[in-house]
Amino acid sequence: MEHMPQVIRKTSPYLRRPQAKVSRMMSDVVIALIPVIIFAIYSFGWSAVWILLASTLSMTLTEAIYYWITSPKGETAFTLSNYSAVVSGLIFGLTLADNTPIWVVVITGVLGILMAKLFFGGLGQNIFNPAALARVLVAVNFATLSTYQANIPIIDGEAGATVLQTLNESGNLFNADILNHIPLWQLFTGIGVPGSLGEVSALLIIVGGLYLALRHSFEVRIPVVFIATVFGLASAVAVYQGLGIWYPLMHVFSGGVMFGAVFMATDPITSPITKPGRIYFAFALGFVTFIIRLFGALPEGVVFSILIMNMFVSAFDYFKWSNPRFTTKGSVIFAGVVVAAIAVVLVGVSYVG
């Protein structure tokens, strides 16, 4: 044996899955966002570019500077290289209205990533989704500055309001007239629909979601259950009120449900760890979103519900009842919860309606 290499002692296993990488997972999200970003720029022009630049740069630079200060040699978890801050920045930017002032974007972006991620200890330690938190900061602090506009004028002077806002303001939540302004196909494709940068085109979001599903870069159960829950609860209301299929479809295709379900709720760091847990979590998200829509009249219902449910993730994962497999007991309880949720919604509707 002429060549005698050094023998290193390790512990098993000695092999690792070659394709598994955090940076791959995160860059996949960026790739999935590309159609949405292009469409945002197409619809909103330069303002979309500036907002996305501001949101992404503010978040990534904050993270970089934070680590530069706290760990000068860069030896600890400097996480920029895995694109997680870029992903948060892009997603945050895409949830904003096109006329949000840049300084608002920058302030909330910086605060969002600091409060939601860095103060918790960086990637993987955070409880709240940084993009959702930043978006909620905008909604809470700068509400009047963020109304929605599209570059295509909306008929009947409804400019500046999304479908949901219009419904709420019309005083009749179940008014089919809304469809005269914006037909469903427009809601689906996002063409000529007012709303935030990235949330308007359900079609392109689905394309991105399919890509992520094929690459196994997100948990496909979360968006599916989330959207199905919103659709299902809205359908129950539709049946109860004698409305058409347009009603649940409109709920699904408007106001960021698709975007939030595909790109925000699926953030693995801020969702439960087991398969059943993720399904329960997604159902809860759908339920809370729908309740906020019915009673709260907030266009940011989705981001609020994501933050609310983020707080309960550790409860879903609590070791005494979390289970990696579906159990009969779990399924029975879950079925009961679903029935109760429908009942709550219908009772609520009979008051509102």
Least Cβ distance, residue 85 to other proteins (angstroms): 13
* Dist CA 169 CA 184 (whole Å): 20
Q: Which two tokens stand for residue 66?
A: 């934070």
Query: Cα separations (Å) of 309 from 195, 296, 303?
Result: 24, 17, 10
Least Cβ distance, residue 298 to other proteins (angstroms): 28
Largest CA distance in the chain: 87
Contacting other proteins (CB under 8 A), which of 17, 72, 75, 156? 17
Give 24-39 as a DSSP string: HHHHHHHHHHHHHHHH
Q: Which two tokens stand for residue 8?
A: 């290193």
Contact 148, 195 (CB under 8 A): yes
Which one, 190 or 277, has the nearer CB to other proteins?
277
Contacting other proteins (CB under 8 A), which of 46, 144, 171, 319? 319
Which one, 9 or 46, has the nearer CB to other proteins?
9
Residue 340 interacts with other proteins (CB under 8 A): yes or no: no
The stretch among 85-93, 122-130, 177-185, 333-341 that binds other proteins (CB under 8 A) is 122-130
Least Cβ distance, residue 263 to other proteins (angstroms): 14
Contact 209, 264 (CB under 8 A): no
Contact 230, 289 (CB under 8 A): yes
CB atoms within 10 A of CB 103: 11
* Dist CA 166 CA 150 (whole Å): 15
* DSSP 8-state assignment for residue 117: T
Contacting other proteins (CB under 8 A), which of 171, 325, 347, 351? 325
The stretch among 2-10, 183-191, 302-310, 331-339 that binds other proteins (CB under 8 A) is 2-10
Which one, 77 or 338, has the nearer CB to other proteins?
77
Residue 329 interacts with other proteins (CB under 8 A): yes or no: no
Least Cβ distance, residue 91 to other proteins (angstroms): 15
* Dist CA 136 CA 300 (whole Å): 7
Give the footprint of other proteins on residues 37-96 (CB under 8 A).
Answer: 77, 79, 82, 84
Q: Residue 41: which residues within 8 A CB-CB, separation 6 or more?
A: 48, 49
The stretch among 10-18, 146-154, 223-231, 290-298 that binds other proteins (CB under 8 A) is 10-18
Least Cβ distance, residue 58 to other proteins (angstroms): 22
* DSSP 8-state assignment for residue 143: G
Size of the chain in residues: 353
Which one, 15 or 69, has the nearer CB to other proteins?
15
* # residues contacting other proteins (CB under 8 A): 49
Contacting other proteins (CB under 8 A), which of 62, 196, 217, 254? 217
Least Cβ distance, residue 226 to other proteins (angstroms): 16
Q: If DSSP codes are grouped into helix, strand and coil, which group holds residue 232?
A: helix
Give the residues lining the site for other proteins (CB under 8 A): 1-22, 24-25, 77, 79, 82, 84, 122-125, 216-219, 268-269, 271, 273-275, 278, 317, 319-320, 322, 324-325
